[in-house]
Structure 1
Amino acid sequence: MMTPKALAKPVSVVLVEDDQSLRDSLVEYLELKGLCVQAVGTAEGFYCLMKRNQFQVAVIDLGLPDASGEELVDFSRQNSDMSLIVITANDGLSSRVSCYRSGADLFMAKPVYGQELAAAIFSLADRQQDRAVVDDSAPTDGGRWLLNGKSWLLITPLQTNVECTVKEYRLLALLAETPSEPVKRPKLLQALYGRDDDSAQRALDTVVRRLRQKIQQATGEDSSPIRTVYSVGYLFADQIELSMD
């Protein structure tokens, strides 16, 4: 029987499952295996934990009472380095594909067994540790992002160009005004659409999603520096300079 690698410290796990009986049984089993687990039953509880803690692995149920688990997966992929496991009673193909597109690493259909879940968590934690060794040994370029106001180009630290639409450029220009500080959604909505309604909010989310995809394609990374700040807005989590030359 294979055993997990020796890790530097216990693996930290956040479990989001609204079925209290299942949640309690999984927590009990995972803790017996040496994992450090914090568990909640709602999306709101998850976001509260994320404000105060950092986790290596998140286990997220899709069927939450106050939000779709896919929203939590997307938020986690854009705002953390956690590995993500989705659990759900709906294991149809479209559901699995949607979750993987949102950024899930693994998809597990219910019933979920503690032994399998623990093995999956340890496997993902092992990969994180291996990636960290590679990242620590790789040189860094120490560059910054450049937003060119004449050509509407976002230039990555490795000098790759990301072509922006008008809305994408205006969004980046607003975020560049206060790098690493969130810009509130109402301000973005008024600046980009002149209104704050459901249609404008959906349009803003679409612009952010497409821009993130462009950046990820240009950099070859799984995430982008455009981060969601829950209940606030968005920020650009890196150094960025606006140039009109």
Structure 2
Amino acid sequence: MTSTVLVVDDEPKLRRLVKEYLERDGFIVVEAGTGRRALELIAASRPDLVILDLGLPDLPGEEVAHLVRKDSDVPIVMLTAKAAENDRVMGLRLGADDYVVKPFSPRELVARVEAVLRRTRVAGAGGPQVASYGGGRLAIDAERREVGVDGDPVMLTRTEFDLLAALAARPGRAWSRLELISRVQGYDFEGYERTIDVHVKNLRRKLGDMPPSELILTVPGVGYKLGVERDA
């Protein structure tokens, strides 16, 4: 199945370079040089993944990501010249699935894109799988990638859904941060502890799992676990 990738960057030379490498690997590539054009293309062409530069001339990439996340869980790989850890954390808080710092290797970027899409396909494979936890309080539909809490739907990013699905695979089991980031990101990510903590914070907020948390519990010195059992 051929995937469509939207490349959003105001530098034509960089867009052409990324497009060339993606097309070599069989991707269909759509381009946008501004944030507003990117939003139009996301609505019109519904790409499978978005590579989003944060330094756009009209709308900041952060604002574009925020607007996209209001009604879409399309995977976002952020592209930026900001290398500080706090900048990476901010990107993840905005719903990014991955974060690549300029200058970068085009081959590495393609590998990151493939890894994100591969995780998405694996998580969505198989027949209908609707599981409930905690007496029906939490419901996870693996096929549709949908989550509900107390009967209300919750929109998660792909990374947040994959994280919740990993925790729900074995309720009550304590997962280390390294185990979780390996399952969710699929590669060794520098600064993984901060990364997984940000995703957990976002997930708790969306699930309404505010302190003292009941759904996703912190295991001191280890990581996290799902605090409710799967219903029979």
Q: TM-score, with normalisation over the residues of structure 2?
A: 0.57
8 Å CA contact retained: 1:87, 1:112: no
Equivalenced residues, count: 150
Following the alignment from structure 2 to structure 1, what is the Cα–Cα distance between the partners of residues 83 and 206?
30
Same amino acid, percent of matched pairs: 28
Give the secondary-structure state (helix, strand or coil) at the position aligned to 1:137: coil
Deviations 1:12-45 (A, max 9, x none): 1111010111111111111111011101110011
Larger Rg: 1
Following the alignment from structure 1 to structure 2, what is the Cα–Cα distance between the partners of residues 125 and 117?
12
Deviations 1:172-203 (A, max 9, x none): xxxxxxxxxxxxxxxxxxxxxxxxxxxxxxxx
Runs (4+) off by over 6 Å: none
Following the alignment from structure 1 to structure 2, what is the Cα–Cα distance between the partners of residues 123 and 157?
27
Residue 140 to residue 86, structure 1, CA distance change in 2 (3 Å): same
Q: Would you say 1:28 and 2:20 are equivalent positions?
A: yes
The alpha-carbon deviation at position 137 of structure 1 amounts to: 2.5
Following the alignment from structure 2 to structure 1, what is the Cα–Cα distance between the partners of residues 109 and 3?
13
The alpha-carbon deviation at position 217 of structure 1 amounts to: 3.4
Q: Which runs of 5+ in 2 are unaligned?
A: 137-146, 153-202, 210-214, 216-232
Q: Which runs of 5+ in 1 are unaligned?
A: 1-8, 144-155, 162-211, 221-245
Deviations 1:67-121 (A, max 9, x none): 1111122223332121111111111122111101111111111112221111111
8 Å CA contact retained: 2:51, 2:79: yes
Residue 215 to residue 25, structure 1, CA distance change in 2 (3 Å): closer
8 Å CA contact retained: 1:23, 1:39: yes
Match of 1:217 in 2: 208
Match of 2:129 in 1: 138
Give the secondary-structure state (helix, strand or coil) at the position aligned to 1:79: coil
Q: Kindly provide the amino acid, as one letter, of the partner of residue 23 in structure 1.
A: R
**Partner residue of 1:63 out of 21, 44, 55:** 55
8 Å CA contact retained: 2:10, 2:56: yes
